[in-house]
A and B are shown apart, each in its own frame.
Chain A
Amino acid sequence: EAQVTQNPRYLITVTGKKLTVTCSQNMNHEYMSWYRQDPGLGLRQIYYSMNVEVTDKGDVPEGYKVSRKEKRNFPLILESPSPNQTSLYFCASSLSFWLAGSGEQFFGPGTRLTVL
């Protein structure tokens, strides 16, 4: 089944404790991105990747890192999480950046992160 998976689905952690949220897709997609969703703010893009070893900042990159060593994986790293990073995070993928804008972007199920 074609899908985007994220792990963990739920995470409660404390300020400053490094964490990684994994994202994996099995559709051979080139374009992958991370969003965070906060009440009243909608979805905002954190980082994106056009292809392997090509990543760039989105609208709200501060406090986050990403890597794209393999095509299928795009982990989101919080080196020193803070309470303002408590949010619902979504990974998404598409065959290409252009197709993502044309409706063919697939979203993962989400990771709810709480930073105490």
Chain B
Amino acid sequence: SQQGEEDPQALSIQEGENATMNCSYKTSINNLQWYRQNSGRGLVHLILIRSNEREKHSGRLRVTLDTSKKSSSLLITASRAADTASYFCATDATRAGNTPLVFGKGTRLSVIA
């Protein structure tokens, strides 16, 4: 399985601090994506980084990708209570079969005001 694995499983920080979540995967990829899920709601696409990119920014989000280590990290700077959610990495599996995305198990982030 190419499933990504997020680390840590849960993270609790104070508002204003930075939050870092990591994702590791097993096989080569075309791209890696991060999704956000508010409790019991649908997933929302946050950012995509392609295999030939090393770093990407979007607002307070910074994603890095190290294909040699098969890992990615998501950094949320200056966190807010509204950032409380679960965050999932997903790898592009379109070459491998019928599932376009393989999701990790997620990191649950709690930002305390």
Contact = CB atoms under 8 A, between A and B. Distances in A.
B contact patch SS? loop
Contacts of B33: 103
Contact of B99 (A45, A98, A104, A109): A45
Contacts of A33: 100
A45 B30 CA distance: 20
Given A101-B31, A102-B31, A103-B33, A110 B41 contact: yes
B106 A42 contact: yes
Interface string B13-55: 0000000000000000011010000001111110010000000
Interface string B63-98: 000000000000000000000000010001110001
Question: What band does the interface of chain B fall in when counting residues whose beta carbon is under 8 Å from A?
Answer: 20 to 34
Question: What band does the interface of chain A fall in when counting residues whose beta carbon is under 8 Å from B?
Answer: 20 to 34
Interface of B: 3, 30-31, 33, 40-45, 48, 88, 92-94, 98-101, 103-106
Given A33-B100, A105-B45, 5 more contacts: A101-B92, A107-B43, A109-B42, A110-B40, A112-B40
